[in-house]
Amino acid sequence: MLGIKYPILQGGMAWVSTAELAAAVSDAGGLGVIGSGQAPPRWVKEQVRQAKTLTDKPFGVNVMLLSPHAGEILALLVEEKVSVVTTGAGNPGKFVNMLHEAGIKVIPVVSSVALAKRLERTGVDALIAEGMESGGHVGELTTMALVPQIVDAVGIPVVAAGGVYDGRGMAAALMLGAEGIQMGTRFMCATECIVHSRVKEMVIKARDRDTVVTGRSTGHPVRVLKNKLARKFIELEHNCAPGEEFEKLGMGSLKLAMVEGDVEMGSVMAGQVSAMVNGVQPAREIIADVVAGAENVIGSICNGKVNVDK
């Protein structure tokens, strides 16, 4: 469906997934995705143009539907005829026809069965089922529970996201009925990823319990690596502070971490697999490792190492 060699999508992370990363992932046989976040349409257009100069393979753009620029960005993606649009943090239903008319595949990220069913009816091409292990804006369910429920509820292909780091994660996702995976956190530490080096260091150093979900009480729960900002958010929640205080604290904090490298007062959005990331590697190596690992673990199961049928 996507014209890619391996069913591995790269998460379109705001301030992190630029043309360099997306092109490297696509060149290596996955689907690279530019993250548009809250960026202005002009920046997105430049990134798309740059990615086209860096790779002749298909790539995508993620549109964060909470952005005030989402409509304008989708219109320019139609003009630029990108191969794939993934969406996050909202319902892209009203844009599906416009994107399809331009030959663009539409793959929304969902974190519930209800939204998955609603979006299937709008004619989207596939869905990314994202569990709460992932970084950034998260839902309530884990990948393990969410993926098979969405696979059972819809007839279109499902991509599993959240908590996938290596071949074991990919194999597990396929066992749950997914046809592919999306990884974000691991690609943050790709050589080609422009995220600030202090963010990469923090992800690499992270241990199993170093992420936390803040902002549940505001309706915008976000998984981040624990730091001073996260502790301030937790304190606001304990004090039942009004929404404006969260907004004030959160404003500009993602850019502060990812671009400026302030890993204490910035929002270091990253998933639970941060603990498994132990170095910086080219995107091509990441993809090769995941594919080889999945083949290896699936092979050993097929050879009877897990003896389920005595």
Interaction pattern, residues 197-236, with ligand TUI; x per rule: CB under 6 A: -----------------------x----------------
User: Which residues within the stretch 95-134 sit at the binding site for ligand TUI (CB under 6 A)?
Assistant: 109-111, 115, 130
Output the DSSP codes for 29-96. Answer: TSBEEEE-TT--HHHHHHHHHHHHHH-SS-EEEEEETTSTTHHHHHHHHHHHT-SEEEEESS--GGGH
CB 183 within 8 A of CB 164: yes
Tokens of 66: 């909470």
Question: Running DSSP on this structure, what letter comes out for residue 209?
Answer: T
Q: What is the distance between the alpha carbons of residues 43 and 38, in angstroms, rounded to a whole number?
A: 10
The site string for ligand TUI over 257-296 (x = CB under 6 A, - otherwise) reads ------------x---------------------------
Please, how many CA atoms are within 13 Å of residue 228, restricted to the half-sphere of its CB? 8
User: Residue 77 Cβ, how far from ligand TUI at the closest point, in Å?
Assistant: 17
From the list 95-103, 135-143, 205-213, 298-306, the region that binds ligand TUI by CB under 6 A is 135-143
Residue 71 vs 293, nearer CB to ligand TUI: 71
Query: Which residue in 1, 66, 251, 292 binds ligand TUI (CB under 6 A)?
Result: 66
Residue 74 or 294 with smaller CB distance to ligand TUI = 74
Q: Closest approach of Cβ 308 to ligand TUI, in Å?
A: 33
**Residues within window 145-204 making contact with ligand TUI, judged by CB under 6 A:** none
Residues 6+ apart with CB under 8 A from 235: none
Adjacent-strand bridge partners of 222: 137, 214
Residue 110 or 291: the one with the smaller Cβ distance to ligand TUI is 110
Q: Is residue 73 within the footprint of ligand TUI (CB under 6 A)?
A: no
What's the closest the beta carbon of residue 217 comes to ligand TUI, in angstroms?
14
Residue 137 binds ligand TUI, judged by CB under 6 A = yes
Any contact of residue 89 with ligand TUI (CB under 6 A)? yes
Contact 91, 65 (CB under 8 A): yes
Report d(CA 252, CA 259) in Å as an integer: 11
- Decide whether 1 or 66 has the Cβ nearer to ligand TUI: 66
CA-to-CA distance for 92 and 110, rounded, in angstroms?
11
Measured torsion, CA atoms of residues 31, 34, 38, 44, in degrees rounded to the nearest 10: -140
From residue 14 to residue 53, the character string flagging contacts with ligand TUI as x (rule: CB under 6 A) and all else as - is x----------------------x----------------
Residues that bind ligand TUI (CB under 6 A): 14, 37, 64, 66, 88-91, 109-111, 115, 130, 136-137, 139, 220, 269
